[in-house]
Amino acid sequence: MKKNIYNILKGTFLISDDSFKSWRFILFLSGLAIVMIASSHSADKKVYEIVRLTNEVKEMRSAFVDGRSKLMRLKMESSVIAKMKAKGLSPSVIPAKKIKVKSQK
C-alpha cells in the first residue's frame, strides 16, 4: 500500500509499460472536468440573465403603475374642468337631454 502511494506521488505510473491505460483515464477525467466547468458557467449565465430580466420586469411594472395613476388624475372631472377653464370653457349648468329618434317605416 505504501509503495503504491509512493509510486503515484513519484509519477512512475505515467511512464511504465502499461501507462496507456493511465493516460487514457487521466484524459477522460480532464474532459469531464472541462465539461463540468462549462456547465457551471452556463448555469451562472442563466442565473444572471434571470436576475436581469426580473429587475427589468419590476421597473416596467413600476412605470406602468405610475403611468396609470397619472392617467387617472388627468381623467378626473376636476382636473378637466380646471384645464378647460383656462381655455375659456365651463361646464354646462343645464342638464343634458336625451334625444330619441323614431324610425321611419
Classify residue 33: in a domain, yes or no: yes
In a domain, 12, yes or no: yes
Q: What share of the chain is helix, strand, coil (3-state, %, to 5)?
A: 75, 0, 25
Strands (E) across 36-77 are located at: none
- How many domains is the chain partitioned into structurally? 1
Q: Is residue 99 included in any domain, yes or no?
A: no
* Distance, CA of 16 to CA of 11 (rounded, Å): 9
In this structure, is residue 91 part of a structural domain?
no
Q: What is the pLDDT of residue 2?
A: 78
> Which residue carries 376636476 as its cell?
78
| Statement: residue 64 has pLDDT above 90 | yes
**pLDDT of res. 58:** 98
pTM, two decimal places:
0.57
95 domain-assigned: no
Range 49-73 average pLDDT? 97
What is the rounded average pLDDT for all residues in the chain?
A: 89
Structural domain includes residue 27: yes
Structural domain span for residue 69: 2-86
* Domain membership flag for residue 100: no
- Is residue 92 in a domain? no
